[in-house]
Structure 1
Amino acid sequence: MLRKMEKNEFEVFHQLLEDNFPKSERRLKHVQKRLLDLDSYNVFVETDGDDIVGFFAEWSSEAFRFVEHLAVNQKYRGSGTGSRLLKEYHDLSDVPVILEVEPPEDDIQQRRVKFYERNGYHLTPFGYMQPTLYEGETPIPLVLMSYPDRMTEAEFNTFKTWSHTTIYHPDNK
């Protein structure tokens, strides 16, 4: 069952974050830890003993929830865990969900998009270059997916403004 992560679980969470995301897609450890003090940032986890089965790191506003990072521990993959956790995450709130994916150009990227589509997400035509989270990194082209409804252009513009002033604000890098 998904629950809000306790601060004493940060080390296990951060290791899973490092195991599943390249350096360019995550923050420095001390910055990531500092985010836990923000009202608009939360991490939801499911645990099995000392293991984190999976997690959702989200930014929230009144209009939407943005999943910045989502991962399932390698030990628990392949048994429907990701889909089950997505359903549990959706059930936490009625607020629409937005997430970023790489444009579906290769097999892995296409499979990722198909996974989210099977779970009710809509690939949007809206994308941007993700601002870097590390000095010296290259911006990453990303497109958005939305749940439960298809995102409109007005919603995209609201999200983009909010994300660049909140998520990608220099204090949060």
Structure 2
Amino acid sequence: MKYTIREIELHEFKDIYDRIERDFVPGEYAPYEILYQQLQEGVQTGLILLDGERAVAYGICAGEDGSDYVLISLLAAYEEFRGSGFGSVLLEALKKRYSDKKGILVEVERPEDALTNEEKAIREKRIQFYQKAGFYLIPHIDYSIWDVPMHLMALPQEISSQMMNKEIGQIIYEIYFKLMGKQFIHKMKFKSLRS
């Protein structure tokens, strides 16, 4: 089958946002108006994976605007196609699309903070999904966004993992400053746990 990716058109974003609300817990994504504006202004880019003519997965990414790094803010296969490998296909397409970047980042909720065993298993599966694609958990950081504790994972491309680990605080701050602006940057918490 032939897969392609294309940018989300603004007129179809409401349908994608409905999926985002079903696919992610509140706090993991921006309100509709903010995300719409970010897409409109090019601060974030929305992408859809097509299997032939059929849309099967989507991703929202920050950092196409000249940044050295890309943050995959959201990535999900459409619910009706989960388990078919479309998430992996989209992730591989994103790795190719951003191959000129120093690295790609993703955020995953911490399994250790899950309230149920089912939620813990989902979070662990998400981490394994990214690890299988070459991402690693960045060690020794305490990180949260909108008061949701997260792990950061990275796929270094034109930089060593040691250098990425060293610079991760500045990298993530620059990405989120563009996303959140001066008014809300305090909602991102980042602290190195190294002694």
Q: Please state which band the TM-score falls in when normalised by the shorter chain.
A: 0.7 to 0.9
Distance 1:57 1:154 in 2: 26
Q: Which has the higher helix share?
A: 2
1:35 and 2:35 aligned: no
Offset, 1:153:
3.0
- Name 1:128's counterpart in structure 2: 143
Structure 2 gap segments, 5+ residues each: 113-119, 188-195
Report the AA paired with residue 147 of structure 1. L
What are the residue-to-residue correspondences of 1:101-116 with 2, within 5 Å? 101-105=108-112, 106-116=120-130
Distance 1:140 1:28 in 2: 15
Larger Rg: 2
Offset, 1:171:
7.1
Structure 1 gap segments, 5+ residues each: 133-138
Offset, 1:31:
1.8
Call closer, same or farther: CA 1:24–1:51 in 2, change over 3 Å.
farther
Q: Deviations over 1:109-133 (max 9, x none)?
A: 2111111101111111134121x2x
Paired positions, count? 166
- Name 1:159's counterpart in structure 2: 171
- Residues 46 and 54 in structure 1, CA contact (< 8 A), matched pair in contact too: yes
Distance 2:67 2:78 in 1: 30
- Name 2:193's counterpart in structure 1: none
RMSD: 2.4
Distance 1:54 1:32 in 2: 18
What are the residue-to-residue correspondences of 1:9-158 with 2, within 5 Å? 9-47=12-50, 52-60=55-63, 61-94=66-99, 95=101, 96-105=103-112, 106-125=120-139, 126-130=141-145, 132=146, 139-148=147-156, 150=161, 152-158=164-170
Distance 2:150 2:46 in 1: 22
Report the AA paired with residue 120 of structure 1. G
Call closer, same or farther: CA 1:83–1:117 in 2, change over 3 Å.
same
Greater displacement, 78-87 / 25-34: 25-34
Call closer, same or farther: CA 1:29–1:100 in 2, change over 3 Å.
same
- Residues 13 and 52 in structure 1, CA contact (< 8 A), matched pair in contact too: no
- Residues 61 and 71 in structure 2, CA contact (< 8 A), matched pair in contact too: yes
Distance 1:109 1:25 in 2: 13
- Residues 103 and 109 in structure 1, CA contact (< 8 A), matched pair in contact too: yes
Offset, 1:46:
1.8
Distance 1:162 1:20 in 2: 26
Identity of aligned residues (%): 24
Q: Deviations over 1:87-119 (max 9, x none)?
A: 111111211210111123332221111111011
